[in-house]
Amino acid sequence: MEGGIVKFIREDLPRLARPIAVFVGALVLATAAPVIGQGLLKKMDAEDSAAEKSLSLANDRVRQARREQENLGSYRASYGNLVKMGFIGSFRRIDLVERLEETESSLFDMQYSISPRQKVPASDFFALSVDRVVFQLSLLHEGRLLDFIGSLETGSNGISLVAGCNTERIREASGMSYEPHLKAGCTVIWATLEGLK
């Protein structure tokens, strides 16, 4: 050592190569460690955020399923009543025609026409079906009209709605005559909810 300066000889370099490589490697590792650590931390944060989002979505689905289950429970009785009333189901026109044939014998004259069925989507699961029937009747008196309309309401699916009736007196009642005294025209609508397939 001269003047505080260390002189290296070429022969010393091979012996120092290993410690220098370790030092440089340690220096590179010390410099890269924070960068690698920061990247790993960001990746872990992203995975944690994705896991929290998935958990939040799963919790939302569970809450939605519970709400739907509660709704089904609360609407089950109403749905059962609608099924009993015949509002949910299929309106069978043949049932109506058979009932009209049975009723026709107790009337003087009856003519009817059934319009094509109309379907209106009511929800994702049901469609509202509307069947419209127009009647022309000859009757003894107004009470027979009420009896006729009442007979239509029993024995078929659907809720029947009288859309309108008009009456016209064709002759005055005279004593015990058993002849029609009244003409009536009525429109009756049957409404049902049918499940969509």
**Judgement on whether residues 6 and 42 belong to the same structural domain of the protein:** yes
Structural Rg of the chain based on CA atoms: 44
**Judgement on whether residues 129 and 97 belong to the same structural domain of the protein:** yes
| pTM of the predicted model over 0.95 | no
Q: 185: burial class by Cβ within 10 Å (0-12, 13-18, 19+)? A: middle
**Judgement on whether residues 55 and 105 belong to the same structural domain of the protein:** no
**Judgement on whether residues 101 and 143 belong to the same structural domain of the protein:** yes
CA distance linking residue 96 with residue 99, whole number of Å: 5
19, 50, 85 - which closes a domain = 85
Q: What is the DSSP letter of 105?
A: T
Range of the domain at 99: 93-195
Each residue's pLDDT tens digit in the chain (197 positions)?
454 455 656 666 677 677 777 777 777 777 777 777 777 778 888 887 888 888 888 888 888 888 877 777 777 777 777 777 777 777 777 877 887 777 766 667 888 888 898 888 877 777 888 889 898 988 877 888 888 888 877 666 777 888 889 988 887 656 556 777 788 899 988 888 877 66
